[in-house]
Structure 1
């Protein structure tokens, strides 16, 4: 592929830049013309326009929807969500929920009563035991959790392979049953066709017999009528 040795001072580039400058000047002149025809409104004119727009609006336009707008669908929120939305709209603090005071450090009671100190000490022992047990569980999880997770995944993979193997066996059995069914149908096709043809012939014979009997009955009736007429 040949290299491009032409510089920006080449003749096509000069024509391009000249055309670009002429276009820029043309756009500037059009902008100035538009400003001369329709100048920028003054602040007084803007205020007058805003007052006219406000006067043309209904007093309840900020609280009432336009008649052409469809009605809002009924709310499907639960009472708990509606309560939370109302709390957030009224800027009320969050109340209830999980009590986090059990995870906070206990302060010494204000009184010097030994009973209060004993109760606080019992709560501190309970909290310490809980945190110690939780720390042990987290340590065990950090030490053995990964291996337990891998073992669980391996067991799930074994179960998946067993299920896939059963699926393959079931499909093979289904195919074998279909082959046996098709082979059985092919084996008795001649017999079935013969029986069907015999049945058709039998039905045809019955119909022909009924037609002949009906014709004979009509012939007998005709002869009787002729005999009576004589």
Structure 2
């Protein structure tokens, strides 16, 4: 069955992989991007797959609600890979609630049959599921909340989703993100944070995208993590995956 997905944050370092992987699998993608040219530059030069791609040149926060209703009406999934540009302007001068407000607008616009997938962060706790933070971790998170607006935004969107189970959603929490050439498929997914947040574990953006695509293309995977905040971590080549 062909899936239709709306991707916001589509030109970002992870979003572009979600778009490409869904196109490679023969699915339909609507990407919201400020620049069509920029979006196309991040994808393979493949006319066949581009025939299944629709690019809406817009800023998600500048679109009217009725436009969001129209663009999501036929979608099976909405994926948000939005994030803040980690520059002074991106963190302190732009919309400090970008991710939270975009999620609210999108989930209110999409049809009831549509499912929402958010790219979050393992720096945000799933209260009642994750083990308690150490005193050091708790102090650092407290400081980040007030000194780094993107972290507070990530906490805000998590609280919004955890407080509303009237629609289907999954929040994907990657650990420390790194860039790799391609997805290896060698990663673990757990329902809670299992190691220190400030350890040396990493996950490639490609593998995060790979897991998000699995959530869309494998019903049993989405059902397993429905209304949960799974953590994604790369694993060494010689160890088995527990996905």
User: Does TM, normalized by the shorter one, top 0.5?
Assistant: no
TM-score per shorter chain, which class? under 0.3
TM-score (norm 2): 0.13
Greater relative CO, 1 or 2 (CA 8 Å, sep 6+): 2
Larger radius of gyration: 1
TM-score (norm 1): 0.13
Looking at secondary structure, tell me which structure has more strand per residue.
2
